């Protein structure tokens, strides 16, 4: 929800989650998609193995529960 111009507010407890067409086994909640900007929340709901995912732009990952192993191409492996 845009509270003020350019200020968006949401909650991870929202009921507005839908399947993410780009990331198998995950759901997404879109916060804003305007003027070339796309921001929101993603959550993995069911994963039975590795999920290949290459973000087009910079990503921020916040692990709230469980764990994740991220293998960065030409880089280190992160265990979070």
User: pLDDT at position 8, please?
Assistant: 67
Q: What's residue 3's pLDDT?
A: 67
SS3 call for 26: strand
pTM: 0.55
Distance between CA 39 and CA 79 in Å, rounded? Answer: 24
User: Residue 46: what pLDDT?
Assistant: 75
SS3 of residue 33 by DSSP: strand
Tell me, what's the pLDDT at 4? 61
pLDDT value of residue 23: 76
Q: Digits of tens for pLDDT over the chain (80 positions)?
A: 666 666 667 776 767 888 887 777 888 888 877 777 778 888 887 777 787 777 777 777 777 788 888 888 888 888 88
Under 8 Å between Cβ of 9 and 16: no
């Amino acid at each position: 929800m845009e509270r003020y111009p350019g200020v968006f507010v949401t909650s991870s407890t929202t009921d507005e989650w839908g399947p993410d067409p780009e990331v198998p086994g995950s759901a997404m909640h879109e916060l804003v998609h305007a003027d070339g900007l796309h921001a929101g929340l993603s959550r993995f709901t069911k994963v039975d193995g590795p999920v290949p995912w290459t973000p087009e732009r910079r990503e921020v990952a916040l692990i709230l529960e469980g764990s994740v192993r991220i293998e960065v191409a030409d880089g280190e492996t992160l265990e979070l």
